[in-house]
């Protein structure tokens, strides 16, 4: 484990050096993400100008939900999204061979090559929005709520990582899987909507098969609704994360056993 942490630190350091070599691009991406987030806030402001609640969620509860989604989404993008988006190209061009020759686990190598510092800065904006939302709601979360909220975040990141990793691994068969990857990038924004607005088949799909709505809803409920028992939601989120991570790991190993190099 220590060896892997040392290797990962080197990858992060190299990514930071690369980012700082193009400072204007770094600042531009931060601005783009901030404008997108500001757009979400404006949308909620307009929406709640006509209604008092949506699916039982007040305006500032929805803002808290969007802030929570921002934290999880930006951390996921910082550590994994770019790497997984490039996996189909590694497979198609044969550059994956170099990853397989490294003296580390291949999944670790393809998942951690690059790191986005700008996304971490934008995640801090999400933290500020969550804090503002709690202030507006008049909610002072207890120590247990804060601990449970923080504990939910890695599970949310793991759900996004595992689903996207599974989609990227499909490139072993369909070669170009960018459509699946970019399609999921749009689907995972469903996580910023209250779970109570979904009904029927959509509720089942986005809660169990592609469990994106529980990613941000569970931690947001932990903070905003202290009177609700958090344990069923936490169990669902943790169970989904562990199951999907294990399933996609098995899918990756299955794909590697059937991989024939594109470079030879």
Q: pLDDT digit of tens for each residue in the chain (264 aa)?
A: 788 788 778 777 777 777 666 667 667 777 777 787 788 788 888 888 888 888 888 889 999 999 999 999 999 998 998 899 889 888 888 888 888 888 889 999 899 888 887 788 888 888 999 999 999 998 888 889 999 999 999 999 999 999 999 999 998 888 777 777 877 877 877 888 888 888 888 888 888 888 889 999 999 999 888 667 788 889 999 999 999 999 999 999 999 988 877 555
In a domain, 150, yes or no: yes
The count of domains in the chain is: 1
- For 8, the domain range is 2-257
Nearest to 185 by CA among 264, 108, 85, 64: 85
In a domain, 263, yes or no: no
DSSP character for 24?
H
In a domain, 262, yes or no: no
In a domain, 43, yes or no: yes
**What are the φ and ψ backbone dihedral angles of 103, each rounded to 5 degrees?**
-80, 40
In a domain, 156, yes or no: yes
Q: What distance, in Å, lies between the first and last C-alpha atoms of the chain?
A: 33
Quick check: pTM over 0.85? yes
Half-sphere exposure of 79 (CA within 13 A, CB side): 16
């Amino acid at each position: 484990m220590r060896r892997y942490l040392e290797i990962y630190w080197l990858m992060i350091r190299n990514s930071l050096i690369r980012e700082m070599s193009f400072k204007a691009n770094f600042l531009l991406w931060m601005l783009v993400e901030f404008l997108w987030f500001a757009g979400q806030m404006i949308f909620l402001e307009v929406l709640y100008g006509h209604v008092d609640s949506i699916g039982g969620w007040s305006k500032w509860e929805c803002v808290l939900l969007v802030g929570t989604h921002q934290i999880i989404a930006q951390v996921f993008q910082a550590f994994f999204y770019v790497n997984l988006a490039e996996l189909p190209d590694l497979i198609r061009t044969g550059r994956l061979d170099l990853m397989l020759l490294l003296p580390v686990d291949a999944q670790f190598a393809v998942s951690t090559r690059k790191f986005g510092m700008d996304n971490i800065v934008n995640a801090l904006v999400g933290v500020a929005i969550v804090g503002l939302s709690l202030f507006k709601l008049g909610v002072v979360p207890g120590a247990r709520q804060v601990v449970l909220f923080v504990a939910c975040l890695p599970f949310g990141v793991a759900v996004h990582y595992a689903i996207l990793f599974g989609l990227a691994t499909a490139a072993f068969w369909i070669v170009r899987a960018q459509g699946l990857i970019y399609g999921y990038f749009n689907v995972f924004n469903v996580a910023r909507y209250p779970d109570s607005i979904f009904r029927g088949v959509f509720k089942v799909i986005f809660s169990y098969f592609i469990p994106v709505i529980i990613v941000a809803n569970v931690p947001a409920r932990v903070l905003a609704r202290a009177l609700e028992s958090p344990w069923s939601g936490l169990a669902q989120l943790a169970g989904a994360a562990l199951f999907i991570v294990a399933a996609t790991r098995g899918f990756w190993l299955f794909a590697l056993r059937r991989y024939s190099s594109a470079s030879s």
